[in-house]
Amino acid sequence: MVNERSDAAGATQPIRLVLADDQAMIRGALGALLDLEDDLQVVGEAGDGAAAVEAVGELRPDVCLVDIQMPGIDGIEATEQIIAASPQTRVLIVTTFARPGYLKAALAAGASGFVVKDAPPAQLVDAVRRVHAGMRVVDPALAEATLFEGTNPLTEREQQVLSLSADGRPVAAIAAAVFLSPGTVRNHLSSAIGKTGAENRAQAARIAGDKGWLQA
């Protein structure tokens, strides 16, 4: 459900915001922080990706602040749907997960900015204003890490089998799920282990997940 909030409009039209985060406390803190600024106005909140898309479709905000990991539709997919529903709305990703893979996926989905939740409040406020002005904003440390990280080295099949192996399921079960032979699955897992520098497939899945390489 859309949680609408309204403030008295000043002489200049404020930048209208929708906040999407599955943690109510985080939404409340962000809302309180942003509403302190005379030129910013939080007009709606959403607790998951689907609700965010609904809120943006109804409220047509200038900027939607979106978390990455939310139940149902995650922040990446929600970004695509938000932009499709309201092309004039700009999306700013605000997340705990400062991972190069997430940054690349978010920008590919159409996000205009990407900042981490532990950024100074002034930096977040500035990011909102710059995104609204049509600029692209990326956390400097994450941008540098992404530059040196390079592209995702895992093939689509390697990502697929590595994702399925994360819960410890046997090779035979993975093979049945992806319609490959057990030997082929082992080859893909071995390649993924080598590319991530891991010692085993569980560690490889953890490393790839941390880097955001399993999003595709």
Q: Residues 28-44: pLDDT tens digits?
A: 999 999 999 999 999 99
86 and 110 part of one domain: yes
Of 201 and 214, the structure prediction assigns the larger pLDDT to 201
Proportion of the chain above pLDDT 90, given as a percent: 59
- Kindly state whether residue 161 falls inside one of the protein's structural domains: yes
Q: What is the pLDDT of residue 150?
A: 60
Q: Residue 99's CB: how many other CB atoms inside 10 A? A: 21
Residues 172 and 135 in one domain: no
Domain match, 196 and 93 both: no
Give Cα separations from 80 to 106, 144, 156, 164 (angstroms): 9, 25, 21, 25
Q: Are 83 and 176 found together in one domain?
A: no
Domain that holds residue 190: 156-211
The enclosing domain of 171 has a CATH number of: 1.10.10.10
Q: Are residues 35 and 63 in the same domain?
A: yes
In this structure, which amino acid lies at residue 148? Answer: F
State whether 82 and 142 are in the same domain: yes
Burial class for 210, CB neighbours closer than 10 Å (0-12, 13-18, 19+): middle
CATH of the domain at 61: 3.40.50.2300
Answer yes or no: do 128 and 188 share one domain.
no
Cα 154 versus chain centre, distance: 20
Structure tokens at 14: 């404020």
pLDDT digits (tens, 9 = 90+) for 56-84: 999 999 999 999 989 889 999 999 999 99
Q: What is the pLDDT of residues 148-166, one digit of tens each?
A: 566 778 898 999 999 999 8
Which of 100, 128, 148 is the last residue before a domain boundary?
148
Of 148, 174, 190, the position where a domain reaches its end is 148
If one counts the domains in the chain, the total is 2
Give yes or no: residues 134 and 173 share one domain: no
Last residue of a domain, one of 126, 148, 170: 148
- The angle that helices 171-178 and 182-196 make with each other, rounded to 10 degrees, is 110
SS3 162: helix
